[in-house]
Structure 1
Amino acid sequence: MKKLLFLVFILIFSSLFAFKVIMVTDVGGLGDGSFMDGTWSGIVRACQEYGIEYEVIQSKEQSDYISNLSKAAESADVVFAVGFLMSDAFYKVAEQYPETYFVGIDFHQEKDLPNVMTFTFKEQEGSFLTGYLAAGMTKTGKVAIIGGIPIPPVKRYEIGFRTGVKVYNSIHNTNVEVKVVYANSFTDPKKGKELTQALISEGVDIIQQACGGTALGIIEAIKEENLKNVTSKELKELIDYMYLNGGYYMLGGDVEQEWQAPGHILASAIKRVDNASYMGVVKAFTGDWHPGNIELGLKEDGEGISRMPFTKGLVPNDLIYELEYLISLVKRGEFKIPETEDELNALRVKIQF
């Protein structure tokens, strides 16, 4: 009888003090295989680990942001807003619900609010590595980056990628060209495919994505181009062909995207949004809450390059070594990767292997 009463007490206590997390997406929504999905995976991981209730509210239009965030704040202990475009709505709602924790992913702390924690990233550090890799792997001497909307995080992606190519050119005395285009959308695969086809027609063979769900069209175009030469669906035959002849590659963004198109995605610039969202949940739930902004880069394992699970054998050992050495320089503070156009223009490469 005592045991039964104890169990009833626990159930009542749990129901009275249940903890809930709600993530509100921007218009990109889940299913992008990149930024949104990565953030959501970190929330799910933390909530399942700690037995926390969790939910997602997806925004269809920017006009949904305030209403969706308000709805979330009325029933959740922690509200996540994911995406730079949500920042204005985020702070308006956070001020209205001071008893609710708010976590912003991908934008800075704009107001000093005790219930707000934000996470930003040194995107330039991850894309620097894929830019360097692209410069070392291109067969045509032309690479590109397709951005979504030129907001600050995406511009840092662009600057980092161009820096990687610039550093490779300086060290190896090459002249790899970088093309930069913007889709002006994070949700338009059709536009991503059209831009990719146009870039391929101009001689580009490696394309970095920084455009969220729009990149699904990049993947489609890359696969179609490669399968003109390799009709087999076997990964081994594709990799063998690429090793001997080269081909076309996308470079993923935010998460390890190689699994979406094995062999067609060379590597990914990792942006550990999953670690940030996981950290946000845990800090709120355990009482380790500290308002303010947390910036994550290579040193904090918030940025990096993927393991290249399908394509690492295509990359020369010397190039792998150079990437590892460059990572060590950044982590030790001996090389700062530019994050603005002015810093990139002023960069003088003094690295030697």
Structure 2
Amino acid sequence: MQRLALAALSVLSLLSLGTAEGASLNVGLAFDLGGRTDRGFNQAAYEGAKRAVTESGGTLQLAEPLKLSEVGQGIAGLAQTGSGLVIGVGFSNNGAISAAAKANPAAKFVTVDDLPTGPNTVGLRFREHEGSFLAGYLAGKQSATGRLGFIGGLNIPVINRFKSGFVAGVKFACPNCQVRSAYVGTTSEAFNNPKAAQSLAAAMMKNSVDIIYAAAGASGNGLIEQVRLQPCIRAVNLVRGAAFRSDAYQNLPKSAAYQKSCAGNSRPTFFIGVDVNQNALGDFDKQVGTLNHGLTSMLKRVDTAVYSVIRDVAQDLPWRAGDRSFGLSNGGVSLAFDQYNQALIPAAVRANLKAVEGLITSGAVTVPAK
């Protein structure tokens, strides 16, 4: 039976999850802003850690920051309470991970999305640009206006990999398409500011952007909310120079609310989710058979990466310090296909996506990372 115990760690939330008496593996997991229920990056790490710890019979301690100044504060405490493996989620935790690794050479430390220093550290990093290229290719093929959008949390290398891959994918599918981009903020709080992301999405839609991809953590929820509030673009509102190229979803069943608010010459708007499968969040009427507004999600398998490193330590496999890279070739990134977007992506487009993926993994197409 699982047992839950709550303890206080300064102003952070520390949760201990145990599955076996005398468990040998004690894992500490420190989140970035947004926490384990952000429906994205942090949550994926939590799910992977929970699965690995449950299978191994170990324990899991969680440190959750409530504000930006608390990010990284729980890492030293996790190491001091006996965690033999401490994982920091996000680049903002990397400094604290590197410092704790130096102070605790007998323990092992991991940063998700950055490369810490020290022989007892590992960086779990992703080729986000590869999966984002596929997302851009799909958006370029399916856009009714030829105008796409990208919202990043922060102007940093990891987010720019998302952007670069997406823009390149759009251009590969549709050389004449345009891509507008914007960033939510200038600090890590940009990953937990849905209102700011919603404002950026609204501005893009005013410029006839009909598909927007966000790589902004919990801020991406603001994009989803804007698509819910503005589920279509009307012909009368198209900006100068914009025109509808197609009506790919003309015959797809639509909710009564959509038909009422989008009557006449209009085209639906879509978001592309990130990190975890967010397709279902675009099912605004809770009817899977009607038009869904989540075109797809670019899965960044943080859960798989975190699971694998914990499993390796639990099985006492040789420690391989340094960079561990995850991309299309090893299942580290992919697009999400399910019942929510099945009707949105024609079989021919899906086949083309598979072919493009093969071009990337074979090296025939090089995806820019910046």
The answer to whether 1:64 aligns with 2:54 is no
Alignment check: 8 A CA contact 2:210 2:232 kept: no
The answer to whether 1:315 aligns with 2:332 is no
Deviations 1:207-242 (A, max 9, x none): 00100100111111101112899xxxxx95349979
Q: Following TM superposition, by how much is the alpha carbon of 1:325 offset from its aligned partner in structure 2, in angstroms?
A: 0.1
Q: Following TM superposition, by how much is the alpha carbon of 1:312 offset from its aligned partner in structure 2, in angstroms?
A: 2.3
Aligned residue number for residue 271 of structure 1: 300
Q: Following TM superposition, by how much is the alpha carbon of 1:67 offset from its aligned partner in structure 2, in angstroms?
A: 3.0
Aligned residue number for residue 160 of structure 1: 165
Aligned residue number for residue 40 of structure 1: 46
**Secondary structure of the residue that 1:299 maps to in structure 2?**
helix
Deviations 1:182-227 (A, max 9, x none): 0010001111111111111111110001001001111111011128
Mean Cα displacement is larger for which, 313-322 or 263-272?
Answer: 313-322
Structure 2: gaps of 5 or more residues: 1-19, 235-251, 284-291
Would the alpha carbon gap of residues 214 and 115 (structure 1) be closer, same or farther in structure 2, given more than 3 Å must change?
A: same
The answer to whether 1:237 aligns with 2:266 is no
Would the alpha carbon gap of residues 201 and 116 (structure 1) be closer, same or farther in structure 2, given more than 3 Å must change?
A: same
Q: Following TM superposition, by how much is the alpha carbon of 1:16 offset from its aligned partner in structure 2, in angstroms?
A: 5.0
Q: TM-score, normalised by structure 1?
A: 0.84
Amino acid in structure 2 at the alignment position of 1:301: G
5 Å-filtered alignment, 1:1-353, equals 15-16=21-22, 18-75=24-81, 76-109=83-116, 111=117, 113-170=118-175, 175-184=176-185, 185-226=190-231, 237-238=254-255, 246-262=267-283, 263-288=292-317, 289-340=319-370
Alignment check: 8 A CA contact 1:26 1:60 kept: no
Q: How many pairs align? A: 315
Q: Following TM superposition, by how much is the alpha carbon of 1:117 offset from its aligned partner in structure 2, in angstroms?
A: 1.3
Which protein has the bigger helix share? Answer: 1
Distance 2:122 2:143 in 1: 41
Q: Following TM superposition, by how much is the alpha carbon of 1:261 offset from its aligned partner in structure 2, in angstroms?
A: 2.8
Aligned residue number for residue 8 of structure 1: none
Would the alpha carbon gap of residues 221 and 66 (structure 1) be closer, same or farther in structure 2, given more than 3 Å must change?
A: closer
Distance 1:227 1:135 in 2: 17
Structure 1: gaps of 5 or more residues: 1-13, 230-234, 341-353
Would the alpha carbon gap of residues 192 and 36 (structure 1) be closer, same or farther in structure 2, given more than 3 Å must change?
A: same
Which protein has the bigger strand share? Answer: 2
Would the alpha carbon gap of residues 74 and 334 (structure 1) be closer, same or farther in structure 2, given more than 3 Å must change?
A: same
Distance 1:315 1:245 in 2: 19
Alignment check: 8 A CA contact 1:142 1:177 kept: yes
Distance 1:101 1:238 in 2: 52
Q: Following TM superposition, by how much is the alpha carbon of 1:64 offset from its aligned partner in structure 2, in angstroms?
A: 2.5
| Identical-residue share of aligned pairs (%) | 29
